[in-house]
Structure 1
Amino acid sequence: MTSPEDRALIERSLEIAAERGGDLTSAVYARLFSERPELEAMFVMDTDGAVRGEMLSRVFAAILDLIGDGAYAQNWIRAEATTHEGYLVPRADFARFFEIVAETVRDACGADWDGAMEEAWSDLLLAVRVYVV
């Protein structure tokens, strides 16, 4: 369970990132494809970015659920990790996507990102890895 303080820090970082970076979809996927260029071929049919946007939207919803009530995100993460294995995406790569999201949020926050936010996100990412494995 995420502490109220960590929840507030993660929510604030998401707010700052949205204010400064707007829709982070392009930035997240640019980082992903820079790191793993072979994954871009999986999105060849996603000519308007709708699939990428939907996927990122679901990740943000899962993050908010994890730091909130925890009603479904644990099971969703487990299920999606399994689904992505069917697309030949290893579980470690699925978990890495959450890290890429965190890194993109950090970059969008700029100087407003601090050690407390870093720690809150690190704890969240540890929880994600538990559900992915």
Structure 2
Amino acid sequence: METNKVKSILDFGQSIWLDFLDRKIMDSGELKKLIEEDGIRGLTSNPAIFEKAISNSSTYDEDIEALSKQKTNNGEIFFGLAVKDIKRAADFFKPVYDETKGEDGFVSLEVSPHLARDTGGTIKQAKELWK
């Protein structure tokens, strides 16, 4: 039986995280497969990754339209989409979090890069995203 090389990294105490997210990977079952079969232990994303996912797919169009009626600017719409996907991805990783007693199973999202030199703004946005 062939050993899954990605999953075998767990034997060395290392955790592999994905550095991207889009709805296609969740809808297709690919994310679930990566977690269960390959031992992927977490996921990180950032505004550039989401921008690529959003602009390369019509999957987000309906949500963009709905959010544009509630939100006042493009940043709020963008983070509304991102948070929805991050929360959904976190649901996929919940069994990993439980199994590892909180050592793995995290999903993270970076704050806006426009806040790189604004400590107060960074903290404020992180708190808003956490809600």
TM-score (norm 1): 0.31
Of Structure 1 and Structure 2, which has the larger fraction of its residues in helix?
Answer: 1
Higher CA-based Rg = 2
Of Structure 1 and Structure 2, which has the larger fraction of its residues in strand?
Answer: 2
Higher RCO (C-alpha 8 Å, min separation 6): 1
